[in-house]
Structure 1
Amino acid sequence: MEIQYGNPWALNWLWLALACLAMVIVAAVRTRMRLRNFASDNFMPRLLPPRHRLLVITRAMLMLMTFVLLTIALVDIRWGKVWREIPQKGIEVMFVLDVSRSMLAEDVTPNRLGRAKQQINDMLEVMGGDRIGLVVFAGEVRQVVPMTNHYDDFRRSLKEVDTSSIRRGGSRLGDAIRVATNGFLSKTLDHKAMVILTDGEDQESEPVKAAKQAYQDHGIRIFTVGLGNQQQGARIPSGRNADSSYLQYEGEQVWSKLDGKILQAVATETNGAFIPAETKQVDMASVYRQYVAKVDQQQFETAKINQYEARFQWFLGLALLSFLCDVFAGHWMPKPSGDPFHHEGKTR
C-alpha cells in the first residue's frame, strides 16, 4: 500500500511526548521517595494503594498515547487514492524567454538567462490555476511548452533551456510575439497575458507592431521584464562556460545593453507593464500579483485529479478519545489515606 506524508517534519514532536513521559516517571519516583522518609513499608499501601499506582501508570500511558496520536495527525498520513473533480479558474500566461547569446552577459548573477529562468520560477510559486506555456527565441522562435496546467513538466523543460535551444543566432523579438500569440488556446479577447523576459535587443522584427496586433486581434496584454545594465552594458562570454574570452566583432569586444525603450513601447501598446529589472533582484511574486493576476480570469474545464485520501481525522479522533479517558481516570483516582500515624494513635 502506498503511503504519502504531508508533514514528515512533525515527527519531531515525538521528542516532546517522550519528555513529558520522563517528567511523569521522575515525579512518581520522587513522590514515592518523599513518602518513604516518614512512612514505613507497612503504611505505604495505605498512602499509595495498588489501585492508585495502577491509575497513575494508566494515565501516563494515556497521556503518551494522546501525544503520539496528535503527532501522527500532524504528519498528515495519506493512503488510498481517490478521483476528484477540481474546477479550474485562471488566465493563460505565455512566457517568452530570450535565449540569444547576449543573455549570457554577466551583469546579473549568474547571467541574464539564469536570472530570467529564476524569475519565471518565482512567478510559478504564486500562480494557482493558470495555464502556462513557454516560447524561446533568438534568431528564430520555438514553442517549448504548449499551454498546460502541469507545472512540474513546465519546470523541467524550463531547466533544460539554454542558448543552444535555438541554433540560429540573433534576436527576433517581433517574431517571438507572433509565435506566442498563436500558442494561446482561448479564442476570446481577454483572459490572456504574455510575459517577455529579455534584454530588449532586436533585429528589425517590428516587435511593437506585433504587440499592437496581438492586443487588438486577441486581447493579449504583454508584460515585459528588462534584464541587463542599461547604461554601461556588459560583455558577452564567447564560450558556454563563460571563461575569460568574450565575443568580438571586427576585433572589438561586443557590449550588450538593456534596450528599455522597445520593451516600454511593447507594454504600453498592450495595456501591460514594463518591469525594468535591470541588474536588481525583483520580487516576481509581487509583480505577478500587482500586474499579471489582475487580468480577468476565466473558468476552465473541470480537471479530474487522482490524489491520496487524507486520514489525519482518524488519529485526531483517537487522540481526543485518549485525552477524555485520561480526564475521567483522574476523577476515579483514589485519594491517599489520611495521616497513618494519627490513625495509629487513635487505634491504640
Structure 2
Amino acid sequence: MSELQFQYPYFVWAATALVILLLLFAYVLKWKKRVTKRIGQPQLVRAMMRHYSPRRFVFKFIILCLAFLAGVIAVMNLRKPGGNDGIQREGIDLVFALDVSKSMLAQDIQPSRLERAKQFIGRMMDAMPDSRIGLIWFAGKAYVQMPLSTDHGAAQMFVQEASPDAVPMKGTVISDALKESLNAFGERDTKYRAVILISDGEDHDEEALDISKELASRGLMVNTVGIGSPMGSFIPDDSVSGGRKIDVETGMEIISRLNEQELQQIAKNTKGVYVRLENIDHAVETIRDNLSQIATRVTGDTKLMSFTYYFWIFVGLMLVLLIVEQLLPDGKIRRSS
C-alpha cells in the first residue's frame, strides 16, 4: 500500500526557525515587563493598558507560529504515490554492454555483427518488459549511453544509433565494460542485477577474467553473447583502397575471428550462460531462462510515477491563519453598554 511521503524532507530544518521566534517573543515579553516597571505608578499603568490583553497577544503569536509551521510542511511537499498513470513494474535491473569496436562491422554474420547484436538487444528488451534497462557501449573504453530506466522506447532509440563512432578509443577492452556495468548499478540490491555482454571476444586486455570474479563476489550475474564465426571475416573500412582494414605492420588485411573462450569463462565465473548468436530466438530464450533465477521485485520509477499532492492544504491553512492573525485585535474586545 502506498504511503504518504515528503518530496523534500530536508526542508524540515526550516522549522528550527521557530526556536528563534520563541526567543524573540520571550525577549519582547521581558522588555514589556521592564518598561512597565519603569513607569512606576500601578494606577497609571492600569489606565494605559486597560484595553491591552496579554492572553490575546500570546494567542496571536501562537497563530503566527502555526502558520509558519504550515508553510514549512507545504514546502516539504507532502505527496502519495499512485494514480491511473503511475508505473509499477516487476522485474530486474538489466545492463546491456555492447561491443562497438570496428571488428563488429565484420559481415561473417549478415548484415553485420553489430546489426545482428542490435536485433538481439531489441528482442531481449521485448522479452523483459518489466525490467529496468541500462546501456553501455565499449571499445577501447566503456561509456554509459543510458542509465537504468524503465523507458524501453528511449533504449531502443539508443540501440539503433550504436556505431563505432560512439567510442573514440579503438580496440576492445572487456574489463572496462564490466567495471562500468558494476558502476551503473550503484549500491542497489545485488539480488536483482544482471549484465548481458555482447562481443566478438577480441579482447585487448587480460584483466576481464579477474574483474568477472569480483563481480561474482558481489552477486552480479554476467551472461555473455558471442557474435561472429571462428572462421572470421574481413573488417570493412571505406577509408582504404579495397574497402578492408589493413594491419599497418604487415600490410595484410585483418581477419577478425570470434574468441569464445574468454566469453565462456566470464559467464562461468558469474553463474551466467554463454550463447553464440546464431539464432536470435534461441539466444533470447536461453538467456531469459537463466535470468529467471534472479528474484524479481516491484520497481517504481519516480520520474514516471504520478503522485497526489497535498501541499495546497497547508498553503491554504497558512493563509487562513495569517488572515485570522491580522483580523484579530490586539486588545480586549469592547462591548457597548
C-alpha distance in structure 2 between counterparts of 1:215 and 1:111, whole Å: 32
1:190 aligns with 2:191: yes
C-alpha distance in structure 2 between counterparts of 1:283 and 1:246, whole Å: 32
Give the corresponding residue for 2:115.
Answer: 114
CA 282–102 in structure 1, closer or farther in 2 if over 3 Å, else same? farther
Q: Deviations over 1:124-165 (max 9, x none)?
A: 111121011000000111100100000001111111110100
The residue type equivalent to 1:290 in the other structure is D
SS of aligned partner of 2:84: strand
Give the corresponding residue for 1:346.
Answer: none
How many matched pairs? 221
Give the corresponding residue for 1:248.
Answer: 246
CA 84–177 in structure 1, closer or farther in 2 if over 3 Å, else same? same
Give the corresponding residue for 1:264.
Answer: 264
User: Would you say the 8 A contact 1:131–1:149 is kept in 2?
Assistant: yes
Give the corresponding residue for 1:199.
Answer: 200
Structure 1 position 114, deviation (Å)? 0.5
What TM-score results when the alignment is normalised by the length of structure 2?
Answer: 0.62
SS of aligned partner of 1:268: helix
Structure 1 position 244, deviation (Å)? 4.8
Q: List runs of 5+ in structure 1 lacking aligned partners.
A: 1-81, 307-348
CA 245–94 in structure 1, closer or farther in 2 if over 3 Å, else same? same
Give the corresponding residue for 1:237.
Answer: 236
Give the corresponding residue for 2:96.
Answer: 95
Give the corresponding residue for 1:48.
Answer: none
Give the corresponding residue for 1:129.
Answer: 130
SS of aligned partner of 1:197: strand
Give the corresponding residue for 1:292.
Answer: 291
Answer with 106-115 or 196-205: which moved more: 196-205
CA 159–251 in structure 1, closer or farther in 2 if over 3 Å, else same? same
C-alpha distance in structure 2 between counterparts of 1:299 and 1:132, whole Å: 15
C-alpha distance in structure 2 between counterparts of 1:128 and 1:186, whole Å: 23
The residue type equivalent to 1:226 in the other structure is G
Answer with 252-261 or 282-291: which moved more: 282-291
1:274 aligns with 2:274: yes
C-alpha distance in structure 2 between counterparts of 1:223 and 1:171, whole Å: 18
More strand by share: 1
C-alpha distance in structure 1 between counterparts of 2:245 and 2:279, whole Å: 24
CA 197–243 in structure 1, closer or farther in 2 if over 3 Å, else same? farther
C-alpha distance in structure 2 between counterparts of 1:93 and 1:204, whole Å: 24
C-alpha distance in structure 2 between counterparts of 1:243 and 1:201, whole Å: 24
The residue type equivalent to 1:294 in the other structure is Q
User: Would you say the 8 A contact 1:237–1:244 is kept in 2?
Assistant: no
Q: Identity percentage over the alignment? A: 28
Q: List runs of 5+ in structure 2 lacking aligned partners.
A: 1-82, 307-337
SS of aligned partner of 1:152: helix
User: Would you say the 8 A contact 1:122–1:284 is kept in 2?
Assistant: no
C-alpha distance in structure 2 between counterparts of 1:245 and 1:128, whole Å: 40
C-alpha distance in structure 2 between counterparts of 1:196 and 1:302, whole Å: 25
SS of aligned partner of 2:292: helix
SS of aligned partner of 1:171: coil
Runs of 4 or more off by more than 4 Å in structure 1?
279-282, 302-306
C-alpha distance in structure 1 between counterparts of 2:279 and 2:131, whole Å: 27
CA 245–302 in structure 1, closer or farther in 2 if over 3 Å, else same? closer
SS of aligned partner of 2:85: strand
Structure 1 position 199, deviation (Å)? 0.3
C-alpha distance in structure 2 between counterparts of 1:272 and 1:177, whole Å: 14
